[in-house]
Chain A
Amino acid sequence: MTDNSFLEVRDLKKYFPPRESFFGNTAGSVRAVDGISFELEEGETLGIVGESGSGKSTAARTLLQLEPPTSGTVHFKGHNLTALSEEKLRSLRKEMQMIFQDPFSSINPRRRIGDVLREPFAIHNLKENVAESIKELLNQVGLSSDHAHRYPHELSGGQLQRVGIARAIALNPSLVIADEPVSALDVSVQAQVVNLMMDLKEKLKISYIFISHDMSIVEYFCDRVAVMYLGKIVEISTSEEIYRTPGHPYTEALLNAVPGLEPEQKKQKIKIRGDIPDPSNPPQGCSFHTRCPLKEKRCEEMEPILKEVSPGHHVACFLKE
């Protein structure tokens, strides 16, 4: 373990205990995050992609200790987050912030924008120049200082997501986790918000973890990409590499599913049928075999582990060995 790494996640697991149903039968525990490891360098942007239910959001929440992890460690700037006291963790939270998917549900509709932005300062007992800082924040995200007096319903989805971003950067964090920040927005507004996040990255030296199910935005925005399926990372590499030579059939399927503007040019598609399996009862062997068009006998019996196929490019698939 290196002390100078910015963020290092080792074998992080989050299992939700089985819920006893009304009639007393219990299912297995839900393995939402099942042993993921990755590193993030300072100034880097890592994309985490996968379908709903693949564990992306739980991974982010567990990483920030918003959910206590079942096991594994998270080292952030030399601190082991999993072993810190509440108090120390709280002061460290200034450094790690989150942007949520739906600004209409993550911003209190009864409070003015100015009050929403005042809260991070209040929580951390910062009293100096708060009004000034809020004005500057609004300008930084492309809103005017008048917006401080408005209520959330007076803003459009794109504007409100800008407020969500302003709240996240209020305390000058070095790590921002953005959980599907543009999925709820119109395509034309997505471009605006992604550009804003890019600008802030340059200006404020932020490292991002960007969670999305849309490969086209991730390719554009991220330096490296981790693909998750049923709580595990099945492929991780630089974004150029993943788009040029996707290693895992699931990655390829995600890439092919992006609706392109010139569909006739699409190469032969890997198509995926059905839904993601129930994480409380994951399939034996490779968890993707139930939907994989290239599955072989051994995929049903053994579980492939993440292996390096080329420098920095790891894939968990037997076909790549």
Chain B
Amino acid sequence: MSQIELDVRNLNVSFSTPHGNFSAVNGINFQLHSGETLALVGESGCGKTVTALSILRLLPEASAKFISGKIIYSGRDLLGLSSQQMRKVRGKEISMIFQDPMTCLNPVLTLGEQLSETLLQHNNLNKKEALSKSAQLLGRVELSSPEEKLKQYPHQLSGGMRQRVMIAMALACEPKILIADEPTTALDVLIQAQILELLENLKKETGMAMLLITHDLGVVAEIAERVMVMYAGDEVETGPTQSLLKNPNHPYTKGLIASRPQPGLNIKKDLRLPEITGNVPSPNQRPSGCPFHPRCNWVMDQCKTQKPISKKSNHDHQYSCHLEPGSL
């Protein structure tokens, strides 16, 4: 087994609001190995993004009052670092790309100014060196005429090009870990395919580890080696991608897989698309027992009262369900 790059242990995050405290992430555990891509999958509101933001300590201090657990990166617990120490990690060792490239670039700065900012912050470079490094970075994300692009503003680029700039920015300091939060959700399928390919190539070149956050299992199947499915702040099932997609052990995983229509399967027109009925419960109204039980087709009496504990399946997945392995 390769080296563990990031070790998240029993991470809990809760928010304090005027309507009371509620918990967004309930004791999740995962490890990210060097050079691998781990996908966090789930519907909106399942705690994927909160998990990512807590790793980088980007949650607003005032609202996220309660973060507990450990996030171990190269022997240190990130949750215990001072904000100055954390600033050295953020953007240099661990960096992040965000969902919407339209809102994440500064509209009044040129791309050159934005790209060199990260470089100047973390490296001993002068402005000129930083700009020429920026041009190199834009070349690496396969943007044409990078020198010219440095003088352009974000609105002059298309969505796909902006996402490439975001990736260049995240890679500026050659991070060990890249967190990609829904990097292609705002993009067209064609551009999505291009960006996924780019991320895959860059990962191979640099050997960085990637934490990919998405709600689309199709994207996961394309580039992730392992998957962790989350539901309502809980970890639901974790395993190697292909095996998890072929042999899901948790009804939620199975539902997510089924609801993705497959092109070319010639589904009969009168058939309905398999769906998971209902909605994700809001964080202040989490059901008792297994949080998925109100939407589960396999619900049993014990699901309503007892929260299942994580167990191993026949295919080496960890999953949290009262069903025996192989019952689906």
What residues of chain A have their CB less than 8 Å away from a CB belonging to chain B?
A: 51-53, 156-159, 186-192, 194-195, 198, 213-217, 219-220, 223, 240, 243-244, 253-263, 271-273, 275-276
Q: Which residues of chain B are within 8 angstroms of A244 by Cβ–Cβ distance?
A: 264
Within the complex, the shortest CB–CB distance from A65 to chain B, in Å, comes to 27
A263 adjacent to B221 (CB under 8 Å): yes
Q: A188-B256, A254-B190 are in contact. Are A260 and B263 (CB under 8 A)?
A: yes
Q: Which residues of chain B are within 8 angstroms of A272 by Cβ–Cβ distance?
A: 190, 194
Q: Which residues of chain B are within 8 angstroms of A260 by Cβ–Cβ distance?
A: 218, 221-222, 262-263
B192, B216, B261, B262: residue with the most chain A Cβ atoms closer than 10 Å = B261
B264 adjacent to A52 (CB under 8 Å): no
B324 contacts the other chain (CB 8 A): no
Q: A253-B190, A261-B221, A262-B221 are in contact. Are A187 and B260 (CB under 8 A)?
A: yes
Q: Which B residues, 240 to 291, have Cβ-Cβ distances below 8 Å to chain A? A: 245, 255-257, 259-264, 266-267, 269, 272-277, 279-280
Tell me the nearest residue of chain A to B216, going by C-beta: A187
Tell me the nearest residue of chain B to A51, going by C-beta: B188
From B196, B217, B257, B267, give the contact of A220 (CB < 8 A). B267
Q: Which residues of chain A are within 8 angstroms of B269 by Cβ–Cβ distance?
A: 223
- Give the docked Cα–Cα distance between A255 and B265 (Å): 12
Sample 27 A-B pairs with CB under 8 A, ordered by A number.
Answer: A156-B44, A159-B279, A187-B260, A188-B43, A191-B259, A191-B275, A191-B276, A192-B275, A195-B275, A213-B189, A213-B190, A215-B189, A217-B261, A223-B269, A257-B189, A257-B192, A258-B189, A259-B192, A259-B218, A259-B222, A260-B262, A261-B217, A261-B262, A262-B221, A272-B190, A273-B194, A275-B191
Q: Which residues of chain B are within 8 angstroms of A276 by Cβ–Cβ distance?
A: 158
Q: Which residues of chain A are within 8 angstroms of B280 by Cβ–Cβ distance?
A: 156
B101 contacts the other chain (CB 8 A): no
Within the complex, the shortest CB–CB distance from A288 to chain B, in Å, comes to 12
Q: Which residues of chain A are within 8 angstroms of B191 by Cβ–Cβ distance?
A: 51, 275
Number of A-B contacts (CB under 8 A): 117
Q: A243-B263, A257-B190, A257-B192 are in contact. Are A188 and B218 (CB under 8 A)?
A: no
B188 adjacent to A259 (CB under 8 Å): no
B273 adjacent to A194 (CB under 8 Å): yes
A261 adjacent to B218 (CB under 8 Å): yes
B217 adjacent to A255 (CB under 8 Å): no
Q: Number of contacting residues on B, CB 8 A?
A: 43
A259 adjacent to B219 (CB under 8 Å): yes
- Shortest beta-carbon contacts, A-B, top 4: A259-B218, A191-B259, A191-B275, A257-B193
Within the complex, the shortest CB–CB distance from A263 to chain B, in Å, comes to 5
From A195, A243, A253, give the contact of B273 (CB < 8 A). A195
Q: Which B residues, 211 to 237, have Cβ-Cβ distances below 8 Å to chain A? A: 215-219, 221-222
Tell me the nearest residue of chain B to A199, going by C-beta: B272
- Give the docked Cα–Cα distance between A187 and B262 (Å): 12
Q: Which residues of chain B are within 8 angstroms of A262 by Cβ–Cβ distance?
A: 221, 245
Within the complex, the shortest CB–CB distance from B150 to chain A, in Å, comes to 19
A220 adjacent to B275 (CB under 8 Å): no
Q: Which residues of chain B are within 8 angstroms of A257 by Cβ–Cβ distance?
A: 189-190, 192-193
Tell me the nearest residue of chain B to A222, going by C-beta: B269
B193 adjacent to A189 (CB under 8 Å): no
What residues of chain B have their CB less than 8 Å away from a CB belonging to chain A?
A: 43-45, 158-161, 188-194, 196, 215-219, 221-222, 245, 255-257, 259-264, 266-267, 269, 272-277, 279-280
Q: A156-B279, A186-B44, A188-B43 are in contact. Are A261 and B257 (CB under 8 A)?
A: yes
Within the complex, the shortest CB–CB distance from B277 to chain A, in Å, comes to 7
Q: Which residues of chain A are within 8 angstroms of B272 by Cβ–Cβ distance?
A: 195, 198
Tell me the nearest residue of chain B to A213, going by C-beta: B188
From B190, B217, B274, B279, give the contact of A191 (CB < 8 A). B274
Q: A187-B259, A262-B221, A263-B222 are in contact. Are A254 and B189 (CB under 8 A)?
A: yes
- Give the docked Cα–Cα distance between A194 and B272 (Å): 9
B159, B161, B264: residue with the most chain A Cβ atoms closer than 10 Å = B264
- Give the docked Cα–Cα distance between A240 and B257 (Å): 23
Within the complex, the shortest CB–CB distance from A317 to chain B, in Å, comes to 17
- Give the docked Cα–Cα distance between A220 and B260 (Å): 11
10 more A-B residue pairs beyond the given contacts A187-B215, A188-B255, with a C-beta to C-beta distance below 8 A: A51-B188, A52-B159, A186-B215, A187-B217, A188-B215, A188-B256, A255-B263, A257-B192, A260-B263, A275-B161
Q: Which residues of chain A are within 8 angstroms of B216 by Cβ–Cβ distance?
A: 187, 259
- Give the docked Cα–Cα distance between A172 and B260 (Å): 30
B273 adjacent to A258 (CB under 8 Å): no
- Give the docked Cα–Cα distance between A256 and B218 (Å): 12
B194 adjacent to A191 (CB under 8 Å): no
Q: A187-B215, A187-B216, A215-B263 are in contact. Are A261 and B196 (CB under 8 A)?
A: no
A219 adjacent to B264 (CB under 8 Å): yes
B279 adjacent to A190 (CB under 8 Å): no
B264 adjacent to A187 (CB under 8 Å): no
Q: Which residues of chain B are within 8 angstroms of A263 by Cβ–Cβ distance?
A: 221-222
- Give the docked Cα–Cα distance between A180 and B257 (Å): 22
Within the complex, the shortest CB–CB distance from B257 to chain A, in Å, comes to 7
Within the complex, the shortest CB–CB distance from B157 to chain A, in Å, comes to 9
Tell me the nearest residue of chain A to B217, going by C-beta: A261
- Give the docked Cα–Cα distance between A240 and B265 (Å): 10
Q: Which residues of chain A are within 8 angstroms of B189 by Cβ–Cβ distance?
A: 213-215, 254, 257-259
Q: A52-B159, A191-B273, A261-B245 are in contact. Are A216 and B261 (CB under 8 A)?
A: yes
